[in-house]
Structure formats: structure tokens, C-alpha cells
């Protein structure tokens, strides 16, 4: 059997603040295959965002191993981590984090203009338009965020996450700031990526959205458990 | 190579986007730095101009750097030897000075002793009693006469002392010597003759008769005392060599030589043969003034440095504020894979670019300012006449801009590189 796309084994994250150390992630095991979609649900403060930071290489686990395509990347140096973030991961957050001085197309292009793997201008433009088209807002390419609705802005953010053709999409409550209908459109866009072989990990409070994923995992006080389908 | 160019182009795009998004901020940080860089440019320009003026002054009075000077005590044989050896040469000029009084006969000059016209430095004729006490000789009345230092030249001395012509013309050594000697005055002598209308009759100790000089021009020779220049052969018609070399007439005998003139050897040998002692020296104004000049520069530069420091603080302040404002942008860029070093480089490049732009603006303004100043007051202020913007000042300005950019951008760059992604993106 081939290796899963990502595999976490015994991941722990301990926060050493002013008070006594607090365990945020407590021996998390998780594996996700290519094209698979996974929902992570749990109470506020249970560690969902922390887990996504570890998976997305924003942050490192204290113990445990993290394999990407069968390669242990738990202790890679920052330079390598930056490269992997660029080549393997796409991120979508509850807040859209668009740069307001750039147009939609420029916001998407910023994932290509990142000092990793240079693409010529023509190819860059083609990729950007392709990504905007995937989320259905190619006609807004020249607009700045201030002139777009929340749902449109979030879809620009998804296009930005997709433009590098990542292996894994990490979405942290991407519908949190959107109404139900718009939220459903955003989930559609994310799920569409899995049909092209991309893994999707979605953190959400919305039962309906969670139900549309292939698997649902519960995170409770740093402990991750698979919800057995009823 | 490809990877490098990718980084480079990415940072260029990101940097330009950043500057374009914050034009006002960039402008603000430029304003404070502008003053600092201008201060450096002005100080450097001022120092160079002052240095040049100082050296130019010394060149006028003493001679250009490298000139060999042959001094000797007045001696009538010396005068003859010098004239016969250096006559007609351009690499060696003999200058024999005596004091001369131009004006009414039988009176004491208004500036007895050859002082500047409005000052009395003393040195008039004295009558000394046997017990050693001296009093001013007041037997003759003071009148319309001016005492000048009269220098007789064997050739064009301007090769060694670059006099500037104020009016009229300089001595012409090519024509037949005139019986009425042509005289070129310096500014102070000209001032005296302008103020005191003296008859053009000149008395020189030892002359066979009083001469009737023709004034042909005025030069700036850097001397504050009145002086006049004359062709030696024209003066010699009236004043024999014994008069020029007369030690009692306050005479001075000097030969100025080009650095490697063959005349030096010949002349010293001949003079030694005649029993005349010579003293040889070389003009090294720049070297002698070096300490003063360095000190002057140091003082001015520490002042300019202080102003520049304020400019750096300005850039630093704006830079830090900008990084604070852009935390989200930097975290986001790191999240999509931009390496820390590149982000730091972009921030540094932005301040560096700001610094260089500012330096260019400051230099441009200073060049224009100097042009205006020289145009407006250049004619009345000989020091500012024809000054060029010193390239050293431009270099100093560029360096100041670079240093300010690096100093002001360094801390913000470190901050930008250290922004944690997880904390920012969770918010
Ligand atoms: N930098 C930090 N300093 C202190 N505490 C932190 C920090 N980061 C996370 N925590 C704590 O870790 C715990 C998990 O945080 P996390 O953001 O992962 O929760 P979450 O499950 O995403 O919650 P939410 O659903 O509200 O987004 C929280 O109790 C939080 O207070
Ligand atoms: Mg969260």
C-alpha cells in the first residue's frame, strides 16, 4: 500500500506560557489521502486552529512525527518549510486576509510571486485566471477587495490557495463570516479541488458543511477521535 | 541562476507594490532623511569649496604646490647672476623686491612701512638716539604718497603664483623694455591710488632718478599690503643691480622654479661660486594645511552626522510603523511560502531605495541651490566665483543615503522576518 498524503503520529503541542504548561494537542494521530476530504469539529479552544498550523508548517509540534508523502518533515528547517508551504499547501481562513491595495488578480498572483519557483508573466496570468475561473469570479479579476462582497473575497482567497496547485487544502472556518448560501458556494469550491486529487482538511462549526466531507473528526481538549458513521 | 532571478524579481514586484501602496509614508520618511542628506552634502560641498579657497589663497601668496623656492640674502652679485641665468625662461622666474614710494616728492607716505592703506603696522623711518631709544621721524610731513612693495620680475611669475586679473592687463614680457616702466598693482595698492590722487612719480632707494611709471593693470596677488609688479629690465634702466640687491633698501631676492627645472642646479652652483648663500624650499601648502583641513572637516561632519542621525531615526520610525501596519501582509506572505530572508530583504530594499531617492533629490537641490547662489552673489563674492559642485559632496550624499537606508531599515527588516505566522493568522 502506498503512503498516505499526510500522516501525523502522536503529535503533541504544549504551550509554555506564564502559567504552568498547557497541552493543546495531546497525541494526535491523523492520516489523509489524496483526494480525500476531512472535517475537524470541536468546541472553541479545543485546538483545531493549532492543529492546522502544525499541518500547514506554520508552527511545529513538540513531539510526534509528521510525514508528507512518506517523508518525515517534523524537523525540517524553516527554509525548507517555506518551500513546502509554497509547493504543497493552500490556506483559507475565516478572515480572508486579502491585501487591500492589490486587485483580485494581484492577490491571487502573490502566491506565485513569493520567491519560490519563478513563472513568466504570461504563464502567471494564465494560472491566475484559471484559479479565479475555478471559483467562478474571473470577471472580478481587476476589482480590489473593498469593492467585493464577503463571499467573493473568500473565493479570491480560495483562488489564491489553489493557484499553486497544492496537494493539501487547509481551511479554518472559511464560512464563518458568510451567510449559509454563500458558505455553501465556498464549500463547493473547496470540494471541487478534491476531485482533482487535492486533500482537504476543513475546520468548521457548521454541521451541514461537515457532513459534506468524507470523514468527520472530533477534537476535544487536544484529543482527536474519528466519528464512526452512524 | 533561475532561482536567484526568481527571488530578485519577486522582491522587486513586492517592494514596488509596497512603495506604491504607501506613497505618503515613503514621502514622510524621505522628508526627514532629506534634511540629513542635505546637511551632509552642504557640509561636504562647503568643506571642499573652503579648502579650495584656502589652497587658492596660499597658491597666490606662496606659490602652487611643488614650486621650488630659492631664497638668498640681498647681494648685488646675486641679482646679476639671476638675471643672466633665468632671463627668458619660463621654468624659472627671478623676483627681486624693493620698497618704492609713489607720490609727491619730499613727503612721508600715508602707509609708511608698506602697511595696508587703512592700517599702520609701523616700520616707518625712525630716528634713534645713542641710548637706543627711537622715535618716529617726523621731520618730513606726511603727504600724498604711497609706499608699495615693488617686485621686479625676469619673467611671468603667474606660472607659479596664479594671480587673477582684476582690471587692465598683465605685464608683457615680449616687447621692448619701455623707459617708463609698466606697473601692475595689486588690489590694495589700487585701492590706495584710488583714494589718494598722487602724482605718478616713483622714488626707489638707489635709483638714478625718479621714475614715471605707467599703471597698466590690477591683479589679485593675495597680499593685503600694497604691492606692484614690474619688468626687471624696465626697472633696471633706472635702478642698477646694486640697488636691487641693496640690503639696506629692504630688498628681497627670490627665484621660483618649476619642480625639476635644470636651472636650479646651475643657479645654485653659480651663486655658491660667487659666495652667495641660498636657501631652498618646496611649497607644500596642502600638506601643511592637512591637519587644519582634516579638523575642519571632522567638526563639520560630526554636525552633519548628527542631522543625518535624526534622518535615520525618521526612517527607522516610519519603517517600524510600516512593519507594524503590515504584520498581516508579512505573515500572509510567509504563509504562501515567501522565505524570511526575502521578506527582510524587501523591507531593507524599500528603505534603501527611499534613502537613495532622497539622496538623489538632496543632491539635485543642492546643485541647483549652489547655481542660484553663485548666480546671485557670485560676482560680489570672489570666493564663490565660478565654483563647481564638488563631486565629493555627491558621493558623500549617496553614501549618507545608503547608510541611512541600511540603519533605518535594518531593525524593521529583522522585525518583518520574525513575524510568527500562526499567531497572526489565528487572530
Ligand atoms: N499564542 C498563544 N498563547 C496563548 N494561548 C494560546 C496561543 N495559541 C493558542 N492558545 C490557546 O490554545 C488553545 C487552542 O487554541 P486554538 O486557536 O487552536 O483553538 P480553536 O479550536 O481553533 O478555537 P476556535 O474554534 O475558537 O477557533 C486555546 O485555549 C488558546 O487559548
Ligand atoms: Mg480556530
Distance from Cα B423 to the centre of ligand 1, integer Å: 9
Q: Does A156 touch chain B (CB under 8 A)?
A: no
Nearest ligand to residue A48 Cα: 1
| pLDDT on residue B178 | 85
The CATH fold of domain A6-226:
Rossmann fold (3.40.50)
Residue B402 distance to chain A (closest CA, Å): 25
Nearest by CB to A115, which of B7, B20, B335? B7
Query: pLDDT, tens digit, for every residue of B20-69?
Result: 888 887 787 788 788 888 887 888 778 777 777 777 788 888 888 889 99
Measured distance CA(B396)–CA(B383) in Å, rounded: 22
Residue B409 has pLDDT above 90, yes or no: no
What's the mean pLDDT in A126-154? 93
Candidate from A46, A175, A210, A218 with most ligand 1 atoms within 8 A of CB, to mutate: A46
Has this prediction a pTM greater than 0.80? no
- Smallest CA separation from ligand 1 atom 31, residue: A45
What are the residues whose beta carbons fall under 8 Å from the beta carbon of B290, sequence distance 6 or more? none
Query: pLDDT, tens digit, for every residue of B221-238?
Result: 888 889 999 998 888 878
| pLDDT on residue B357 | 87
- Whether ipTM tops 0.85, in short, is yes
Q: Is A49 a pocket residue for ligand 1 (Cβ < 6 Å)?
A: yes
Search chain B and give the residue with CA nearest A77: B339
Nearest ligand to residue A205 Cα: 1
Residue A34 has pLDDT above 90, yes or no: yes
Residue B377 has pLDDT above 80, yes or no: no
Strand, helix or coil for residue A195: coil
CB A224 within 8 A of CB A24: no
With bands split at pLDDT 50, 70 and 90, how would you rate the model's confidence at B321? Answer: confident
Search chain A and give the residue with CA nearest B12: A113
Which residues share a beta bridge with B136? B126
Search chain B and give the residue with CA nearest A81: B337
Structural domain spans, chain A: 6-226
CA B153 to each of CA A30, A67, B156, B158: distance values in angstroms, whole numbers, following the listed order: 105, 97, 7, 11
Query: pLDDT, tens digit, for every residue of A200-216?
Result: 999 999 999 999 999 99
Residue B1 has pLDDT above 60, yes or no: no
Structural domain spans, chain B: 2-60+287-426, 68-282
Strand, helix or coil for residue B241: helix
The residue among B393 and B91 whose pLDDT is bigger is B91
Cell of A74: 517534523
What's the mean pLDDT in B191-200? 78
CA B132 to each of CA A187, B127, B137, B249: distance values in angstroms, whole numbers, following the listed order: 119, 10, 15, 21
Cell of B362: 538632496
- Smallest CA separation from ligand 1 atom 28, residue: A45
With bands split at pLDDT 50, 70 and 90, how would you rate the model's confidence at A167? Answer: very high
The atom number, within ligand 1, closest to the CA of A52 reads 18
Measured distance CA(A168)–CA(A176) in Å, rounded: 20
The atom number, within ligand 1, closest to the CA of A50 reads 18
- Smallest CA separation from ligand 1 atom 24, residue: A44
Residue B337 has pLDDT above 70, yes or no: yes
CB B92 within 8 A of CB B256: yes
Residue A166 has pLDDT above 70, yes or no: yes
Query: β-pairing, B145-153 with B92-103?
Result: antiparallel
Q: Does A97 touch chain B (CB under 8 A)?
A: yes
Contacts of A93 in chain B (CB under 8 A): 425
Residue A229 distance to chain B (closest CA, Å): 30
Lowest mean pLDDT among B9-23, B38-52, B271-285, B332-346: B38-52
Search chain A and give the residue with CA nearest B14: A113
Residue B406 distance to chain A (closest CA, Å): 22
Contacts of A84 in chain B (CB under 8 A): 337
Residue B318 distance to chain A (closest CA, Å): 19
Query: pLDDT, tens digit, for every residue of B97-156?
Result: 888 888 877 778 888 778 888 777 666 665 666 776 766 666 666 777 888 888 999 999
Query: pLDDT, tens digit, for every residue of B70-83?
Result: 888 887 788 888 88
| pLDDT on residue A84 | 95
| pLDDT on residue B122 | 65
Question: A226, A77, A86: which is closest to A168 by C-alpha?
Answer: A86
| pLDDT on residue B130 | 72
The atom number, within ligand 1, closest to the CA of A48 reads 21
The residue among B127 and A29 whose pLDDT is bigger is A29
Contacts of B339 in chain A (CB under 8 A): 78-79, 82-83, 115-116
Strand, helix or coil for residue A156: helix
What's the mean pLDDT in B259-268? 87
| pLDDT on residue B302 | 86
Measured distance CA(B76)–CA(B92) in Å, rounded: 19
With bands split at pLDDT 50, 70 and 90, how would you rate the model's confidence at B243? Answer: low
Q: Is A46 a pocket residue for ligand 1 (Cβ < 6 Å)?
A: yes
Distance from Cα A179 to the centre of ligand 2, integer Å: 19
Contacts of B425 in chain A (CB under 8 A): 53, 58, 91, 93, 97, 172
Instruction: Answer whether B6 sits within 8 Å of A115, measured CB to CB.
Output: yes
Measured distance CA(B246)–CA(B230) in Å, rounded: 18
Chain B segment 7-66 residues within 8 A of A by beta carbon are 7, 9-11, 13-14, 17, 20-21
CB A132 within 8 A of CB A159: yes
Lowest mean pLDDT among A3-17, A205-219, B208-222, B231-245: B231-245
Measured distance CA(B381)–CA(B20) in Å, rounded: 45
Residue A2 has pLDDT above 90, yes or no: no
With bands split at pLDDT 50, 70 and 90, how would you rate the model's confidence at B276? Answer: confident
Computed over every residue of chain B, the mean pLDDT equals 82
Query: pLDDT, tens digit, for every residue of B166-178?
Result: 888 999 988 888 8
Measured distance CA(B355)–CA(B26) in Å, rounded: 10
The residue among B312 and A108 whose pLDDT is bigger is A108
| pLDDT on residue A218 | 94
Computed over every residue of chain A, the mean pLDDT equals 92
The residue among A117 and B388 whose pLDDT is bigger is A117
Amino acid at each position: 500500500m502506498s503512503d498516505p498524503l499526510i500522516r501525523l503520529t502522536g503529535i503533541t503541542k504544549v504551550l509554555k506560557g506564564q502559567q504552568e504548561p498547557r497541552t493543546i494537542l495531546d497525541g494526535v494521530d491523523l492520516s489523509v489521502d489524496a483526494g480525500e476530504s476531512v472535517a475537524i469539529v470541536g468546541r472553541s479552544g479545543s485546538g483545531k486552529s493549532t492543529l492546522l498550523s502544525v499541518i500547514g508548517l506554520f508552527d511545529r509540534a513538540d513531539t510526534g512525527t509528521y510525514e508528507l508523502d512518506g517523508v518525515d518533515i517534523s524537523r525540517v528547517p524553516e527554509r525548507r518549510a517555506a518551500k513546502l508551504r509554497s509547493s504543497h499547501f493552500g490556506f483559507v481562513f475565516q478572515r480572508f486576509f486579502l491585501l487591500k491595495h492589490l486587485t483580485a488578480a494581484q492577490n491571487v498572483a502573490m502566491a506565485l510571486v513569493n520567491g519560490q519557483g519563478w513563472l513568466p508573466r504570461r504563464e502567471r496570468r494564465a494560472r491566475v485566471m484559471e484559479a479565479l475561473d475555478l471559483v467562478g469570479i474571473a470577471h472580478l479579476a481587476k476589482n480590489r477587495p473593498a469593492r467585493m462582497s464577503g463571499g467573493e473575497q473568500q473565493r479570491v482567497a480560495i483562488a489564491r490557495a489553489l493557484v499553486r496547485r497544492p496537494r493539501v487544502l487547509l481551511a479554518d472556518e472559511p464560512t464563518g463570516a458568510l451567510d449559509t448560501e454563500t458558505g455553501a458556494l465556498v464549500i463547493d469550491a473547496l470540494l471541487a479541488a478534491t476531485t482533482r486529487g487535492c486533500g482537504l482538511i476543513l475546520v468548521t462549526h457548521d454541521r451541514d458543511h461537515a457532513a459534506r466531507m468524507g470523514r468527520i473528526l472530533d477534537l476535544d481538549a487536544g484529543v482527536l477521535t474519528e466519528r464512526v458513521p452512524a | 541562476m533561475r532561482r536567484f532571478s526568481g527571488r530578485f524579481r519577486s522582491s522587486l514586484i513586492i517592494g514596488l507594490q509596497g512603495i506604491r501602496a504607501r506613497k505618503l509614508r515613503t514621502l514622510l520618511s524621505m522628508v526627514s532623511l532629506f534634511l540629513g542628506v542635505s546637511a551632509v552634502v552642504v557640509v561636504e560641498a562647503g568643506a571642499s569649496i573652503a579648502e579650495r579657497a584656502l589652497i587658492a589663497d596660499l597658491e597666490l601668496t606662496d606659490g602652487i604646490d611643488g614650486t621650488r623656492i630659492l631664497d638668498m640674502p640681498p647681494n648685488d652679485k646675486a641679482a646679476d647672476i639671476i638675471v643672466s641665468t633665468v632671463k627668458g625662461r619660463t621654468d624659472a622666474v627671478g623676483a627681486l623686491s624693493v620698497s618704492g614710494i609713489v607720490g609727491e616728492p619730499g613727503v612721508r607716505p600715508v602707509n609708511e612701512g608698506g602697511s595696508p592703506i587703512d592700517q599702520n603696522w609701523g616700520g616707518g623711518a625712525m630716528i634713534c638716539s645713542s641710548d637706543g631709544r627711537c622715535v618716529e621721524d617726523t621731520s618730513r610731513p606726511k603727504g600724498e604718497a604711497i609706499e608699495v612693495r615693488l617686485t621686479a620680475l625676469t619673467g611671468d611669475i603667474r606660472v607659479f603664483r596664479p594671480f587673477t586679473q582684476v582690471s587692465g592687463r598683465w605685464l608683457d614680457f615680449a616687447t621692448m623694455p619701455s623707459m617708463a616702466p609698466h606697473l601692475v598693482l595689486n588690489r590694495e595698492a589700487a585701492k590706495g591710488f584710488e583714494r589718494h590722487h598722487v602724482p605718478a612719480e616713483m622714488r626707489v632707494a638707489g635709483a638714478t632718478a625718479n621714475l614715471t611709471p605707467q599703471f597698466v593693470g590690477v591683479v589679485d596677488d593675495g597680499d593685503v599690503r600694497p604691492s606692484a609688479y614690474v619688468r626687471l629690465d624696465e626697472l633696471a634702466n633706472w635702478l642698477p643691480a646694486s640697488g636691487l640687491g641693496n640690503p639696506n633698501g629692504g630688498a628681497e631676492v627670490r627665484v621660483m622654479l618649476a619642480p625639476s627645472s635644470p636651472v636650479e642646479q646651475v643657479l645654485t652652483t653659480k651663486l655658491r661660486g660667487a659666495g652667495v648663500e641660498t636657501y631652498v624650499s618646496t611649497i607644500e601648502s596642502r600638506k601643511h594645511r592637512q591637519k587644519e583641513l582634516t579638523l575642519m572637516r571632522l567638526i563639520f561632519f560630526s554636525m552633519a552626522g548628527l542631522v543625518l542621525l535624526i534622518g535615520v531615526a525618521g526612517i527607522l520610525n516610519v519603517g517600524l510603523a510600516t512593519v507594524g501596519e503590515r504584520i498581516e501582509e508579512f505573515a500572509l506572505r510567509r504563509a504562501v511560502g515567501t522565505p524570511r530572508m526575502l521578506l527582510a530583504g524587501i523591507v531593507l530594499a524599500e528603505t534603501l531605495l527611499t534613502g537613495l531617492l532622497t539622496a538623489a533629490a538632496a543632491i539635485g537641490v543642492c546643485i541647483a541651490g549652489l547655481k542660484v547662489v553663485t548666480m546671485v552673489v557670485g560676482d560680489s563674492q570672489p570666493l564663490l566665483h565660478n565654483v563647481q559642485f564638488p563631486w565629493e559632496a555627491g558621493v558623500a550624499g549617496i553614501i549618507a543615503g545608503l547608510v541611512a537606508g541600511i540603519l533605518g531599515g535594518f531593525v524593521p527588516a529583522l522585525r518583518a522576518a520574525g513575524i510568527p505566522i500562526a499567531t497572526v493568522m489565528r487572530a
